[in-house]
Amino acid sequence: MKIIKSVSALIVALFFAANTHAQTLQDAIKFSDNEQYNRADEAFKKLLVSDAANGDVYYYYGKNFISTDDLDSAEVMFKLGTAKAPTNPLNHIGLGSVAMHRGKKADGIALVDKGVQWSDNKSIPVFIEAAYALVNAPTKDTAKAMGYLIKARAIDLGKDNKPKNAALYIALGDVFLEANKGGDAMNNYEKAISLDKNNVRAYLRQGQLWLRARNFDSALKSYNDAIKVDSSFAPAYREKGDFYFLFDKYGLAKEQYKKYLSLAKNNFKARVRYAKFLFLAKQYNDAISEIDLIFQTDSNIVVLKRLKAYSQYEVRKYEDGLKSMNKFMAQQPADKLLASDYEYYGKLLLKNNMDSIALKVLLDVYNQDTTRKELTGDIAGAYLKTKNYAEAIKFYNIKTSLDKGVITADWLNLGLAHYQLGAFGKADTAYAKAAALQPDAAIVYLKRAQANSRMDPDSKKEWLSLFTKHTLAKLSPKRLRKTSASLPKLTYTLVLTTF
């Protein structure tokens, strides 16, 4: 979303956005709550023409901008609100929220307090918004937020001592949740539902809390309850997508995210989130396609530049991946680069036959965190390509000692490194490990025959016969049919390379 540069430019934009279709403030707020930020933006523009003196419109429009991380436009909107409706307390709270998001906590709290004072400390909605401003900031103040809500609760209970405002108890639950008091949070969400059984956000919050408590069945039930109340409530589908992703149910997760996107009207923030999901779900080609579409609107999203390069590596588009990674790393400050950036960079260099540079990059990553044992295979491969067999053996020994992630190629390459150094017995041991891991791979028996014939030159004919016989015996019927035709060639290769 483009930042609105000035108040005058904003007013011009609002004037030309107006049309005859009337929408209420509650409609616009609902669009924003439903994460339909673009649709909310259109609704707020119309309201600012038809109801220009209403300070609440400016405030909730500003909150919509904050939801899309557009602090500059939010600030413009809140300032317009304070100018158009000086006695409205909410826009002071909005300006406080912007200040806190920018790291100016003291200034922000002072502005929030100013907004509360403008309401004479008697408005439940103002107390709720003040509390959210404090807990949604990067540096939260849950104690002060709770103080505001306790005052609001006293007003709500009144003389009859009965709760009435469901939104207040959701806010109480949210602040308790931020303070890591799950039991108190759940009690307040349940109270909100008892006051308003159709309050979709209360069910959503319950689901999030159940998930946090690892009560997975109850979490899924709460998300489904939210959808039963309002099947158009997009955040419920997003949370269900996250839920299924947690259990590696990528198909179901993708289905929920697509529903979320359709309901959120493909808002930009939602699409960025979806692209991240596709990468995490290992759907790399889809991730690349989605990122390319997003880049048509905004090509400056750092995390997506990173994920595009990573995804290109995963689908073996190594040349494109290296170009993407070089461009990303040139634009990103060095102190913002992650260890995984250097890891993928090193791997992409290796795949593009830039072995010496790749080796340096990968060694730097490994030496900074030697628990990253999974990198040793790539490092060993780089050493093997540069014919440093001793170092290749060192790192393949580490890789093959791991409990998982060891593949046939690791053992074959370890054997090759030993073979090149004349350690034919160790080479054969490594090849035997490869054979145990993948007994129907013909190449492993060829390698064993080569190593053993080097240790015992008098066994040439025996090993030629054994190689052919052993290969035929070990192969599965399907693999045997494919390999039989190539056996004469393999035997001929053995003769040429060994005898």
pLDDT digits (tens, 9 = 90+) for 167-203: 999 999 999 999 999 999 999 999 999 999 999 999 9
Which structural domain range is residue 492 located in?
A: 407-499
**Alpha-carbon distance 192 to 62, whole Å?**
26
**Alpha-carbon distance 100 to 98, whole Å?**
5
Per-residue pLDDT for 6 more than 80? Answer: no
Q: Structure tokens of 107?
A: 């200034």
Q: What's the pLDDT at 157?
A: 93
Q: What's the pLDDT at 123?
A: 93
Is 124 or 9 the better-scoring residue by pLDDT?
Answer: 124
Is 429 strand, coil or helix?
Answer: helix
Confidence band, pLDDT 50/70/90 cuts, at residue 443: confident
Q: What's the pLDDT at 461?
A: 62
Distances (CA, A) of 405 to 267, 281, 369, 373, 452: 39, 19, 18, 10, 28
Considering its fold, how many domains does the chain have in total?
A: 1
**Alpha-carbon distance 91 to 75, whole Å?**
9
In a domain, 437, yes or no: yes
pTM for the full predicted model: 0.74
Q: What's the pLDDT at 449?
A: 80
**Alpha-carbon distance 37 to 52, whole Å?**
20
Residue 460's domain is classified under what CATH number? 1.25.40
**Alpha-carbon distance 128 to 93, whole Å?**
11
In a domain, 168, yes or no: no
In a domain, 442, yes or no: yes
Mean pLDDT of all residues in 412-423: 96
In a domain, 336, yes or no: no
CA 238 to chain centre: 13
**Alpha-carbon distance 182 to 328, whole Å?**
41
Residue among 140, 145, 7 at smallest CA distance from 75: 7
Per-residue pLDDT for 398 more than 70? Answer: yes
Contact 399, 380 (CB under 8 A): yes
**Alpha-carbon distance 499 to 489, whole Å?**
15
In a domain, 456, yes or no: yes
- Burial per residue of 407-436, b for 16 or more beta-carbon CB atoms within 10 angstroms, e otherwise: ebebbbbbbbbbbeeebbebbbbbbbbbbe
Show Cβ contacts of residue 48 under 8 Å, excluding neighbours closer than 6 positions.
14, 57, 58, 61
In a domain, 191, yes or no: no
Q: What's the pLDDT at 269?
A: 83
Show Cβ contacts of residue 118 under 8 Å, excluding neighbours closer than 6 positions.
87, 88, 89, 92, 126
Q: What's the pLDDT at 12?
A: 40
- Give CA torsion, residues 105, 109, 110, 113, to 10 deg: 180
Is 311 strand, coil or helix?
Answer: helix
Confidence band, pLDDT 50/70/90 cuts, at residue 485: low
In this prediction, what percent of the chain has a pLDDT beyond 90?
A: 75
Q: What's the pLDDT at 84?
A: 94
Per-residue pLDDT for 465 more than 90? Answer: no
Q: What's the pLDDT at 294?
A: 93
Mean pLDDT of all residues in 8-32: 63
Contact 128, 167 (CB under 8 A): yes
Mean pLDDT check: name the lowest of 328-332, 409-413, 493-497.
493-497
Q: What's the pLDDT at 287?
A: 96
Is 403 or 218 the better-scoring residue by pLDDT?
Answer: 218
Distances (CA, A) of 321 to 157, 309, 340, 347: 61, 5, 14, 10
Per-residue pLDDT for 392 more than 50? Answer: yes
Show Cβ contacts of residue 446 under 8 Å, excluding neighbours closer than 6 positions.
467, 471, 490, 493, 494
Rg, Å, the chain Cα set: 32
Encode pLDDT of 112-138 as tens digits: 999 999 998 889 999 999 999 999 999
Average pLDDT of the chain to the nearest whole number = 88
Mean pLDDT of all residues in 445-467: 73
Mean pLDDT of all residues in 420-438: 94
Distances (CA, A) of 46 to 55, 68, 72, 410: 14, 19, 20, 64
Q: What's the pLDDT at 463?
A: 58
In a domain, 476, yes or no: yes
In a domain, 493, yes or no: yes
Encode pLDDT of 357-389 as tens digits: 999 999 999 999 999 898 999 999 999 999 999
Residue among 75, 80, 85 at smallest CA distance from 108: 75
In this prediction, what percent of the chain has a pLDDT beyond 70?
A: 87
Q: What's the pLDDT at 9?
A: 43
